[in-house]
Amino acid sequence: MAEMIAVSLSAKAAASLSEPAAVELSSLFAIRSGVAAAVRELELLRAFLRFADSRCGTDDLAVAWINQVRNAAFELEDVVDEYSYLSGRGFIRSCANLGAWFALSRRLRKARDRLRELSGAKAQYGILPAISSAGAERSSAVGGSATFISRKVADTAHFLGKEDIVGFAAQRSLLMEWLTEDMEPRRTLVAVWGMGGVGKTTLVTNVFREVAASFHFDCAAWVSVSKNFTREDLLKRVLKELQRDVSAGVPKDVEETSYRSLVEVLQGILSKKRYLVLLDDVWDAAAWYEIRSAFVDDGTRSRIIITTRSQDVANLAKSTRTILLKPLPEKEAWCLFCNTTFREDADRECPQHLEHWALRILNKCSGLPLAIVSVGNVLALKEKSEFAWKSVHDSLVWDESTDHGIGQVSSILNLSIDDLPYHLKRCFLYCSIYPEDFFVKRKILIRKWIAEGFVEEKNHATMEDVADDYLNQLVQRSLLQVVMKNEFGRAKRFQIHDLIRELILSRSAKEGHFVFSKCTATFESNSNFRHLIIDRCRSSDIPAPKMASLRSLHGFKTDLDASLLSSFRLLTVLDLWYVPINKLPSAVTNLFNLCYLGIRSTLIKELPHELGRLHKLQTLDAKWSMVQRLPSNITKLKSLRHLILFRRYAADFRFLYPGKAVVLPDGMRNLTCLQTLKYIEANEETVRSLGSLKQMRSLELCGVHEGNLIHLPSSISKMSYLQCLGIVSRDADVQLDLESFSPPPVKLQKFTLAGRLVGNKLPSWFRHLSGLMQLKLHSSKLKEDSIGLLSALPRLFDLSLMDAYEEKSLVFAAGVFPVLRKLRLGDLANLSHLEFQQGSLVNLDKLMLRQCFELTKIPQGIENLVHLQNLELCDMPIELTDKIQKGQGSEGKHQDALHTTIVKVLRESPMKSWCGYLCVTNRGAYLIARHEHGTVK
């Protein structure tokens, strides 16, 4: 982790020193050349830092040296950011503040002297350069003790009985089926993946032992791969395992056998045999690629199982042969807890007087089987008293130094963090800014990473694209959990497992993060903290800290004194959520290094008039604030990439809607870096200005009418990267003519249109939107021919027609909408006949009908929607819902069921709502279960 210091500072210095402002002054004081030289010196220490990192768990001297190097690097970072700050003031103001430049020069000289001292002390501390090979890098970054613990846990799994496997009965049955009943003759890979400690090894080893002991396979081998493997060692261990089942052909001098010979020997042993191999704890797909030639594929139904924390590795197997294990739900977690803690008791039940503390302790385990078993083993040795169990709860810390096996939990989880390359590690540690159980928004996190300087452009990819890839890698490594996906199937919100969060909180504290959570801590004056998080505090609880080095301030649901915001001159990120202040202090405009300003869901009504002084600002997020207008000099923010505006009407945080778009000042054409612009009121000047914003990816326009629509086609046609577009007309009398868009925005993926179209039809260029995935039409009054235009779009999988279709009949013919998965039909006043012909909407899994008051019959051919999972009827005619209920059939009617669909009937009165299961057969659809005003479980 120490190596990350050098790399991070190098990138930041390169960006700061490239700024043209105040070059003359900085050259005069030799600051630019001094910083560049110091960064080069720190860069030379990278190999030594890597070596010291590998000894952090066992060598106090290495820890002390790294801490001192970190402090020196932080001092250098302060110099770099102070240089950037002074440069941001402009040449004239900088000349008036020569004292600051003298002071900066002195600080730089001291930091360089300290860095040279530490470099010279390497030998004294026993710090040696690490080997630079990829394998050695990986090995040195991760201590051997964690790998040893991981293997010890794996070995223990061999001796667990079937009754010890709790919560994975369905996954166990599936594995047994794939291994013993699957008739596929080719060698097949099976993958089981999930976060560390979730029970992969325990489950798979238990299945392996049962199957290997049966008659299904001729021979079997169980091998733990882990991180630091060599292909020769891996093949030797497979060979030794096979010796138990095969005697002939195994060489006596295995240890001296070459890679080529090992492959040939294994091929000879496994030829014409049905074999089972378990490769446990695979970290890299290369492990399989390097040994797969040894495993012959001669049609004997052989199987190879892989366990891994990485989705990339799991993708070696087909998706139909992959299992994702997740933490246990409450019921199964409680069962495992009781089985472990009370294993010597006949009934294995928790005494009633201990249930309170048992549940609180179990809650700290967050469903992770390894944690549950570890803490259960500790409690099994304790006195069965409330006092003893309360003591365990109060002292329970997931730390590697903890006794009684608790430490093994953090050791195994830390392996996943240690495996991260530096650029992913610093991004992941940054996630410790979020409170417990917080849903992390993808786009917001990406923009913060960019503002902090964690992301660089690569080739032709934007920083946003690169950061998006970083997020995907963290998900694939089982470090971030996806809790919500957007319309495109892309992760939208994430969550961090509680135990993982505890680990990165601990690490972040060492790297300069600080969490002020629920007012349980106090600030330390003059500290070196970089990131401050204030979570659910009152202003009276928050002292005025002196943190000159602070880079980011995050406030969550906190009654914050606005004057505090201007206390941190080097601030890069300022993000406030649900903070009840109505004005930003004007001193905020002196934060010249500020790159991210978030005031989402606050009561701020006005932004400082001199906001244009923040020349480095990249993101201004004022969504659901009460900002009514922007200062005119915002047009000076030429680095601005994302501008998100949407004004709330009420000061009550419980209610968001309705909202209102914001009027922009003239001169927006200067903001040529803008990629996101939401939700703005259209006027003629604004629409004309859009033509200069050629980097635009996402645009939402409100208040469009015939007057400003004239210039819109020309402006949109210049946005060659546009992916998301929203157009909302001023009122119902406006008729939108979109035919003249030339060239059309052919890269659109998402299009929202609210307003009546000229001629009640879509523009002809719609047929060229081959990449369109989501389309929402409201009040468009379309005719049947426009539906035909949409039906052939090859990637459209989400379609909403709300008051957007005028005909009485809507028929979906065979072959139309080949990939559509979601269909919403609402407020279609004339619709009385809805039909799905055989072969239509073959991938539809969700159908929503809302307030179509003339539709009183069950849609004809609904049984042809072969993949329909959910049918939602909201305020639909009672005649329709009655017909569905009266179709409730006897047991015999659904024995030939094709599939079952969940039906939700929603009405204004919850007491009249109900849910049920719709059984679809070749002869029609029948309701087989119904639940009053609740959800189907």
DSSP 551-613: -EEEEES----GGGGGS-TT--EEEEES---SB--GGGGG-TT--EEE-TT----B--TTGGG
Q: And the tokens for 302?
A: 């052989």
Task: Give the mean model confidence (pLDDT) for residues 311-325.
Answer: 95
B/e letters for 252-284, b = 16+ CB within 10 Å, e = fewer, are: eebeebeeeebbebbeebbeebbbbbbbbbbbb
Buried b (16+ CB within 10 A) or exposed e, 217-248: bebbbbbbbbbebebbebbbbbbebbeebbee
pLDDT of residue 445: 97
Q: Looking at the predicted structure, is the pLDDT value of residue 473 above 70?
A: yes
Q: Which helix (H) or strand (E) holds 278?
A: strand 275-282
Closest by Cα among 395, 172, 144, 491 to 305 = 172
Q: Is the dihedral of CA 644, 646, 647, 649 positive or negative?
A: negative
Query: Which has more pLDDT, 178 or 132?
Result: 178
The answer to whether 775 and 799 have CB atoms below 8 angstroms apart is yes
At 891 the pLDDT is 39
Which one is the CATH code of 168-324: 3.40.50.300, 3.40.50.1220, 3.20.20.70, 3.40.50.1370? Answer: 3.40.50.300
Structure tokens at 821: 């998965």
Would you state the pLDDT for residue 64?
Answer: 79
* Amino acid identity at 48: F
Contacts of 387-394 with C-beta under 8 Å, sequence gap 24+, read 389/354, 389/357, 389/358, 389/361, 390/357, 392/357, 392/361, 393/357, 393/360, 393/361, 393/364
Helix (H) or strand (E) segment spanning residue 482: strand 481-485
pLDDT band at 890 (very low <50, low <70, confident <90, very high): very low
Residue 322 or 560, more confident: 322
> Taking the alpha carbons of 230, 264, 223, 173 in that order, is the dihedral positive or negative?
positive
Question: Does pLDDT of 805 surpass 90?
Answer: yes
Among residues 767, 831, 827, which one has the least CA distance to residue 801? 827
pLDDT above 70 covers what percent of the chain? Answer: 82
User: 3-state class of 869 per DSSP?
Assistant: coil
- What is the rounded CA–CA span in Å between residue 931 and residue 388? 45
- Please report, for residues 126, 283, 371, 920, 928, the alpha-carbon distance to residue 897 in angstroms, rounded to integers and kept in the order given: 72, 43, 43, 6, 11
Residue 495's beta-bridge partner residues? 481
For residue range 516-549, list pLDDT tens digits in order: 655 554 555 556 788 888 888 776 556 556 677 8
Using an 8 Å Cβ cutoff, are 719 and 699 in contact? yes
Please, how many CA atoms are within 13 Å of residue 592, restricted to the half-sphere of its CB?
A: 14
CB atoms < 10 A from the CB of 129, how many?
14
Is 70 exceeded by the pLDDT of residue 903?
yes
Per-residue pLDDT at 188 exceeds 60: yes
pLDDT of 895 over the 50 cut: no
Range in 405-409, 418-422, 637-641, 732-736 with the lowest mean pLDDT: 405-409
- Low-confidence winner among 151-165, 459-473, 598-612, 726-740 (lowest mean pLDDT): 151-165
In this predicted structure, the answer to whether residue 404 has a pLDDT above a threshold of 70 is: no
Residues 6+ apart with CB under 8 A from 801: 777, 780, 782, 824, 825, 826, 828
Nearest Cα to Cα of residue 127 among 74, 71, 59, 68: 59
Number of Cβ within 10 Å of residue 833's Cβ equals 14
Mean pLDDT of 261-269: 92
Using CA atoms, how far apart are residues 292 and 285, in angstroms rounded to an integer?
11
pLDDT for 915 equals 79
Of 59-73, 214-228, 636-650, 665-679, give the lowest mean pLDDT range.
59-73
Q: How far is CA 906 from CA 359, 554, 845, 914, 935, in A?
A: 36, 39, 19, 7, 11
Q: For the chain, give every domain's residue range.
A: 1-125, 168-324, 654-774
Supply 659's token pair. Answer: 């909202």
Partners of 663 in the beta sheet? 629, 681
CA distance 90 to 590: 12
> DSSP letters along 487-507, please?
TTS-EEEEE--HHHHHHHHHH
Q: Which two tokens stand for residue 747?
A: 């890269």
Instruction: Please tell me whether residue 293 adopts helix, strand or coil conformation.
Output: helix
Pairing state of beta strands 756-757 and 735-736?
Answer: parallel
Q: Is the pLDDT of residue 88 over 50?
A: yes
More confident residue, 121 or 390: 390
- Does the structure show a pLDDT above 60 at 937? no
- Over the stretch 592-645, which tens digit does the pLDDT of each residue have? 999 999 999 999 999 999 999 999 999 999 999 999 899 999 999 999 999 999
Output the pLDDT for position 134: 38
Question: Which residues, listed in sequence order, are joined to residue 724 by a DSSP beta bridge?
Answer: 698, 750
Phi, psi dihedrals of residue 213, rounded to the nearest 5°: -80, -10
Yes or no: say if 75 and 148 are a contact pair by the CB < 8 Å rule. no
- Looking at residue 421, its pLDDT comes to 87
Whether the Cβ atoms of residue 72 and residue 117 lie closer than 8 Å to each other: no
Quote the tokens at residue 227.
Answer: 């991180």
More confident position, 652 or 46: 652
The pLDDT mean for the chain works out to 84
pLDDT in tens, 331-375: 999 999 999 999 888 888 999 999 999 999 999 898 999 899 888
pLDDT at 520: 52
Residue 211 pLDDT > 50: yes
Q: Given a cut of 60, is residue 490 above it in pLDDT?
A: yes
Assess whether pLDDT exceeds 50 at residue 934: no
How many beta carbons lie within 10 A of that of residue 66, not counting itself? 25
Share of the chain above pLDDT 90, in %: 49
Of residues 754, 707, 751, the one with CA closest to residue 728 = 754
738 within 8 A of 761, measured Cβ to Cβ: no
Which pLDDT value is given to residue 905? 87
Query: Which of these ranges, 58-62, 78-82, 171-175, 712-716, has the smallest mean pLDDT?
Result: 58-62
Residue closest to 332 by CA, chosen among 239, 198, 442, 219: 198
Q: Residue 237: left if φ>0, alpha if ψ -120 to 50, beta else—which one?
A: alpha
Inter-CA distances, 907 with 657, 699, 778, Å: 20, 34, 22
Whether the Cβ atoms of residue 727 and residue 704 lie closer than 8 Å to each other: yes
**Distance separating alpha carbons of residues 534 and 557, to the nearest angstrom:** 9
Establish whether the linkage from the previous residue to 421 is cis, with ω within 30° of 0. Answer: no
Phi, psi of 457 (to 5 degrees): -70, 145
How many whole angstroms separate alpha carbon 88 and alpha carbon 108?
Answer: 19
Count the alpha carbons within 13 Å of 617 in the hemisphere toward its beta carbon: 26
Low-confidence winner among 57-66, 213-222, 538-547, 706-715 (lowest mean pLDDT) = 538-547
Amino acid 73: pLDDT: 80
Confidence of residue 906 (pLDDT cuts 50, 70, 90): confident
Is the pLDDT assigned to residue 137 strictly greater than 50? no
The answer to whether residue 135 scores a pLDDT higher than 50 is no
For helices 442-451 and 463-476, the axis angle rounded to 10 degrees is 120
Q: Give the pLDDT of residue 775.
A: 97
272-292: average pLDDT: 93
Q: How far is CA 910 from CA 670, 878, 934, in A?
A: 52, 15, 9
For position 662, what pLDDT does the model report? 94
Identify the burial level of 733 via C-beta atoms within 10 angstroms of its C-beta, where 0-12 means exposed, 13-18 middle and 19 or more buried: exposed
Cβ count near 37 (within 10 Å): 14
User: 312-318 long-range CB contacts below 8 Å, 24 or more apart?
Assistant: 312/285, 312/476, 313/191, 313/193, 313/282, 313/283, 313/284, 313/285, 313/288, 314/191, 314/192, 314/193, 315/191, 315/285, 316/189, 316/191, 316/285, 316/288, 317/188, 317/189, 317/190, 317/191, 318/188, 318/189
Residue 136 has pLDDT above 60, yes or no: no
Q: Of 73, 46, 53, 6, which is closest to residue 418 (Cα–Cα)?
A: 53
Q: Answer yes or no: are the C-beta atoms of 185 and 352 closer than 8 Å.
A: no
CA–CA dist 819, 854 (Å, integer): 28
Nearest-5° angle of CA 656, CA 661, CA 663?
A: 145
Q: Are 507 and 1 in contact (CB under 8 A)?
A: yes
What pLDDT, on the 0 to 100 scale, is given for residue 248? Answer: 54
Instruction: Give the Cα separation of 195 and 497 in Å (integer).
Output: 9
